[in-house]
Amino acid sequence: MRLHDFIWGRTCAVVLGIVGAMEISGVFVEETMPDSNESMTATIEECEASRQALPGWNEDNPFFAPSTLPFQAPDFTQIKVEHFLPAFEGGMAEHLQQIEAIANQEAPPTFENTLTAMEMAGATLTRVQRVFFNLTAAHTNPDIQKIQAEVAPRLAAHTDNILLNPKLFARVQVLNEHRADPMFDAEQRRLIKETYERFVRAGALLTPEQQARVREINHTLSSLGTAFDKNLLEITKERSVIVTDRDELAGLTEAQIAAAAELAKQRGHEGQYVLSITNTTRQPVLVSLHNRALRQRVWEASAYRGLGRDGGLDNRPLVLQMARLRAEKAAILGYPNHAAYALEPQMAKQPEAALAMLINMVPDVVEKVHREADDIRALLRADGIEDDVQPWDWEYYAEKVRADRYAIDQAVVKPYLELNNVLHNGVFYTMNKLFGIQFVERHDIPVYHPEVRVFDVLESDGTPIGLFYADYFARDSKRGGAWMNSFVVQSHLLDQRPVIVNVLNVPPPAAGQPALLTFDEAVTMFHEMGHAVHGLFSDVRYPLLAGTSVPRDFVEFPSTFQEDWAIHPQVLRNFARHCETGEVLPQELLERLLEAKTFNQGFDTLEYLSAALLDLAWHSLSVDEIPDDVESFEAQSLHHFGVDLAMVPPRYRTAYFAHVWPGGYSASYYAYMWSEVLAADGFQHVQHSGGLSSVNGDAFRRTVLSRGGSAEPMELYIEFAGRPPQVDALLIRRGLKAKPE
């Protein structure tokens, strides 16, 4: 777990405040403690007096005090690269000083003097890491990467110093033994449970020798993950495809060609063209390029990255080390493998449950893939190509099948998907109809890159909710993919409102041209806004339980739920307008788009299933089972699960699978499908209850989005939908089952 997912805070001055409590089943917790307030005051004064002596402490460092901007948003006019390392050093020292004071106090453990105090500790560290780790993903540079490599293992050790502190754990353990006591409310009981389990899963019950080895493993894993992240960024540039002949780019729009020429110029290849590689195996340009040989070059550049080919960067040694260390750590903690360890706190609970869901879908999905391949094969033959369907053919010919079957040409559709229209008249419009909220752009909040935009998020009556940052365009300093981060998390305890950022990787348009999206990119904007409102609507007291602090296989439910609004007729008509004429997407074309929704779902589903199964295969191994050959194990695993179709490779192959190596989704990539079951069923429930309405939006906000991790996920879902989820809606959503008549 990352440190910033564990503890948030204010300052030493308020960490040790003790409020009245009661006697709990023999544990003496006085309602008044005459001597404790005096001793706590002395300790607080000691903390404040020693604050200036902490490593790296400098009052001019912007991280050593809360930001004075609205909602404590980061002040990027003040933040410099040289501020990060001292802030990390001072923040960790301050945090440990506060934790030691909590752990060593003489007063018996109460909720307030232990868990509340822990929740309020570490303010400086929280501020710096929330800014820093957003930049490592969204706008990095060699200086930031150097700091990341240095602080990552130190942060891992810092987390261990907290979670393996025996005196602190003893206090948490006492509270956990009595968490059913009626003096605790539901959110407090949940916080006790979550905190206790985090300590145990970190190794708090292990012997000192075992804890020492776990510390070593955590230190090494943090360094390996940082190295993997850094490699991926470099590999993206390394594997970019340089084209010298403009004629080879036939099929791309003039705007795409101009953007490729501009990128080539930026990278020192003026007069040529650069096709950059995105994070997944499939590449967007494969839909359009007529030149089969160039399509093959692009696909191979994507699929064979991270394997050290042609002297390039090789991620395979990192993968093997991480797999081996994760398996060893799981064994020390008493689990048969890392998957069993990772899934215990998830909704699935056991890897067998996740595997069963995925494997049960394979036969129907593979059958659908073969039917789709027949259509593609026929077009290959019509073009005089006797070769079998290759992965670099699929998207190109699938688009032709789509255009023929549904008379849809993406070049005709894209002008109706201009980014600002999608954002304002699609995403924001939907959020307003569901939740009554408004997004008002402001230009007085500093940002970390000129392309980033900031919006006030307001209730219908103008009451502020928080801030929303939109960072949508790809750049060399940004890793691939799309995600949501929080600069500030909501907490009533800390009197904090949320500051949320959505990050995408839309190819930037050429100068003076509109930013036109693919339909997938438009859907991704809706998806990430689902994560954003999960953070924005959080309404809990304790930051550990706020917003998206939920199991991996639940966190994608609110985001995937929002995706289907992108194809809702009312929403589509509102945002799909021609970028030049303002003409609404013609009704006939809209109907064809909706009909085509389930097209190519065999391919889409199989490439996802393959990646999710590959993730579980790696993380279901014991230490002795870790292979020596990454590519052979990958091939054997795909064959074992019956998903080794060369024409449909995994969405991510092992050497560039960022989700599961450095990205926090180890053994949990299945979570997207698990969450999609909830999302499809929940969306169907909303359609049966009136569709796009404030009544449905308010219910979703009240029962799911506002609750964060303050209750069991299944309890939240049942409160929302009135029953457990059913899988039929997912099968219909993906075109794997016919809609009922």
257 and 197, same domain (yes or no): no
Please check whether residues 59 and 191 belong to one and the same domain: yes
CA distances from 102 to 1, 86, 180, 608, 674 (A): 22, 24, 23, 46, 39
568 assigned to some structural domain:
yes
For the stretch 339-349, pLDDT in tens is: 999 999 999 99
pLDDT tens for each residue of 295-309: 999 999 999 999 999
In a domain, 633, yes or no: no
In the 8-state DSSP scheme, what is residue 248? G
Buried b (16+ CB within 10 A) or exposed e, 82-103: ebbbbbbbbbbbbbbbbbbbbb
Identify the domain boundary among 311, 346, 365.
311
| Mean pLDDT estimate for the chain | 91
What's residue 52's pLDDT?
67
Of the residues 560, 586, 612, the one at which a domain ends: 586
- Alpha-carbon distance of 592 to 596, in angstroms, equals 6
User: With bands split at pLDDT 50, 70 and 90, how would you rate the model's confidence at 735?
Assistant: confident
Indicate whether 193 and 297 sit together in one domain. Answer: no
Tell me what the mean pLDDT of segment 720-736 comes to: 91
Q: Which residues contact 524 (CB under 8 A, 6 or more apart)?
A: 482, 504
Give the per-residue pLDDT at 591.
85
Do 92 and 154 reside in the same domain of the chain?
yes
**DSSP assignment of 386-440:** -SPP-HHHHHHHHHHHHHHHH---HHHHGGGBBHHHHIIIIIIHHHHHHH--EEE
Which pLDDT belongs to residue 46? 55
For the segment 663-691, the average pLDDT, to the nearest whole number, is 95
Task: Judge whether 544 lies within some domain.
Answer: yes
Residue 30, pLDDT above cutoff 70: no
312 DSSP 8-state letter: -
Counting every residue written for the chain, the total comes to 741
154 and 12: one domain? yes
Give the residue from 564, 586, 608 where a domain finishes.
Answer: 586
DSSP 29-83: --S--HHHHHHHHHHHHHHHHHGGGSTT--TTSGGGS---SGGG---TTT--HHH
Which carries the bigger pLDDT value, residue 6 or residue 407? 407
**Percent of the chain predicted with pLDDT > 70:** 93
DSSP state of 676: H
- What are residue 385's phi and psi, to 5 degrees? -100, 115
Domain holding 187, by residue range, is 3-205
pLDDT (average), residues 693-712: 98
- Per-residue pLDDT, averaged over 479-499, amounts to 96
Instruction: Kindly list the catalytic residues.
Output: 528
* Proportion of the chain in helix, strand, coil states, percent, rounded to 5: 60, 5, 35
pLDDT in tens, 564-608: 999 999 999 999 999 999 999 998 888 888 888 889 999 999 999
Report the CATH number at residue 77: 1.10.1370.40
Show Cβ contacts of residue 268 under 8 Å, excluding neighbours closer than 6 positions: none
Query: Are 455 and 510 contained in the same domain?
Result: yes
Amino acid occupying residue 583: E
Angstrom distance (rounded) from CA 542 to CA 187: 8
Could you give the 3-state DSSP secondary structure of residue 205?
A: coil
Contact (CB, 8 A) for 494 and 501: no
Q: Which amino acid type is present at position 354?
A: A
409 domain residue, yes or no: no
444 and 545 housed in the same domain: yes
User: What average pLDDT score do residues 250-260 get?
Assistant: 94
Q: Between the ranges 5-9, 169-173, 476-480, where is the mean pLDDT highest?
A: 169-173
User: What is the predicted pLDDT for the residue at 192?
Assistant: 98
| Number of domains the chain contains | 3
Are both 424 and 531 inside the same structural domain?
yes
Together in a domain, 184 and 255: no
Q: Provide the pLDDT for residue 9.
A: 28
> CB neighbours (10 Å) of residue 536?
26
Tell me the mean pLDDT in the region 369-390: 95
Asked whether residue 647 is assigned to any structural domain, the reply reads: no
When mean pLDDT is compared across 14-18, 423-427, 603-607, 653-657, the lowest value belongs to 14-18
| Residue 640 falls inside a structural domain | no
- Whether residues 75 and 161 share a domain: the answer is yes
Residue range 404-444, pLDDT digits in tens:
888 888 788 999 999 999 999 999 999 999 999 999 999 99
Q: Do both 163 and 253 map to the same domain?
A: no
Residues 459 and 531 in one domain: yes
Q: What is the pLDDT of residue 28?
A: 28
The answer to whether residue 653 sits within a structural domain is no
Res 630 pLDDT > 80: yes
In a domain, 654, yes or no: no
